[in-house]
């Protein structure tokens, strides 16, 4: 039974949010409005989950500077937030207590042609992440991290390219596209109201689907090699200051590990 669900939230895959400079960077002039849009999408997902029999929802605010407008958060949800985020092993012990995970407001990985606000971790520095030869974005990072903890990701919302990425990665996942990317700074959004009703229905359906045909936690065979390619040489220089980071070429470094947790969020 799916009773406890953890929701990872991001800001760039929300209907009505289309600009880094004006909406998602912490000094953006419409940052607070963007946070309200995300929070209402999250609330719609919480409603959907509760209607499908989920009783405990933890919202994990993972947008870089934070993306939840606290006062508007669903009364039945709790919020994991604050920066710097707690170390990953401590977050892992929280996530491991949940039956399933969901992702709301996700964007496509860096370098996707039509992915609206596409990036991987840093929109200003990262060209690509490649894990064991396969390009990955933030969806794969989180799904693999949860997967190693035995927690399946059963739902994702974002732009069409983010949904496509999740569908390819996680067989059986339920996705809801709230906007169609036309470019990194341009998209066709559903109205806020339509997006929220699609999210309510989609998240409830995800729980039902998972009950009928359980989704496996995402696991890839190890050992793991994560290659990070930066836009600028100096960022690769900086990355090599951390222990265990190997230099591949001027703009590329790599990390090796026996477990996903060793490499995926380093
Ligand atoms: Zn993100």
Walk me through the domains of the chain, giving residue ranges and CATH numbers. Answer: 4-212 (3.40.50.10780), 224-263 (no CATH)
Mean predicted confidence (pLDDT) in 116-122? 97
Gap from CA of 15 to ligand 1 centroid (Å):
15
Residue-wise pLDDT for 159-171, tens only, equals 999 999 999 999 9
Helix (H) or strand (E) holding 54: none
Structure tokens belonging to residue 176: 């809801």
Helix (H) or strand (E) holding 78: strand 77-80
Gap from CA of 120 to ligand 1 centroid (Å):
7
Question: How far is residue 142's CA from residue 146's CA, in Å, rounded to a whole number?
Answer: 6
> What is the distance, to the nearest Å, from the Cα of residue 144 to the centroid of all Cα atoms in its chain?
11
Which of 134, 178, 135, 132 is closest to 155 using CA atoms? Answer: 178
Gap from CA of 13 to ligand 1 centroid (Å):
8
Gap from CA of 212 to ligand 1 centroid (Å):
30
Gap from CA of 123 to ligand 1 centroid (Å):
9
Mean predicted confidence (pLDDT) in 194-215? 98
Gap from CA of 162 to ligand 1 centroid (Å):
11
Question: How far is residue 228's CA from residue 93's CA, in Å, rounded to a whole number?
Answer: 27
Gap from CA of 64 to ligand 1 centroid (Å):
7
Mean predicted confidence (pLDDT) in 125-139? 98
Gap from CA of 137 to ligand 1 centroid (Å):
9
Gap from CA of 109 to ligand 1 centroid (Å):
9
Helix (H) or strand (E) holding 186: strand 186-189
Mean predicted confidence (pLDDT) in 76-87? 96
pLDDT of residue 139 exceeding 90, the answer is yes
With a pLDDT cut of 90, the percent of the chain lying above it is: 100
Question: How far is residue 104's CA from residue 106's CA, in Å, rounded to a whole number?
Answer: 6
Gap from CA of 29 to ligand 1 centroid (Å):
19
Gap from CA of 97 to ligand 1 centroid (Å):
23
Tell if the pTM clears 0.95, that is, is over it: yes
pLDDT of residue 1 exceeding 90, the answer is no
């Amino acid at each position: 039974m799916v009773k406890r669900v953890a929701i990872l939230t991001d800001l760039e895959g929300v209907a009505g949010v289309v600009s880094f400079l004006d909406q998602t960077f912490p000094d953006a002039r419409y940052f607070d409005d963007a946070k309200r849009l995300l929070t209402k999408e999250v609330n719609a997902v919480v409603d959907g989950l509760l209607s499908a029999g989920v009783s405990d929802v933890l919202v994990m605010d993972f947008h870089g500077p934070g993306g939840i407008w606290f006062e508007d958060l669903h009364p039945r949800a709790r919020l994991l937030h604050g920066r710097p985020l707690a170390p990953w092993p401590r977050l892992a012990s929280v996530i491991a207590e949940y039956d399933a995970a969901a992702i709301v407001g996700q964007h496509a990985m860096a370098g996707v042609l039509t992915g609206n606000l596409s990036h991987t971790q840093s929109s200003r520095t990262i060209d690509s992440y490649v894990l064991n030869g396969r390009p990955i974005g933030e969806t794969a990072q989180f799904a693999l991290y949860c997967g190693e903890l035995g927690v399946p990701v059963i739902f994702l919302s974002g732009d069409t390219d983010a949904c496509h990425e999740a569908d390819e990665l996680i067989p059986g996942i339920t996705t809801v596209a709230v906007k169609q990317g036309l470019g990194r700074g341009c998209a066709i959004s559903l109205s806020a109201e339509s997006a929220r009703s699609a999210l309510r229905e989609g998240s409830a359906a995800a729980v039902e689907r998972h009950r009928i045909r359980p989704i496996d936690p995402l696991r890839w065979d190890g050992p793991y090699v994560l290659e990070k390619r930066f836009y600028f040489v100096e960022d690769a220089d900086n990355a090599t200051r951390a222990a265990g980071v190997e230099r591949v070429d001027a703009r590329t470094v790599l990390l090796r590990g026996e477990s996903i947790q060793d490499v995926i969020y380093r």
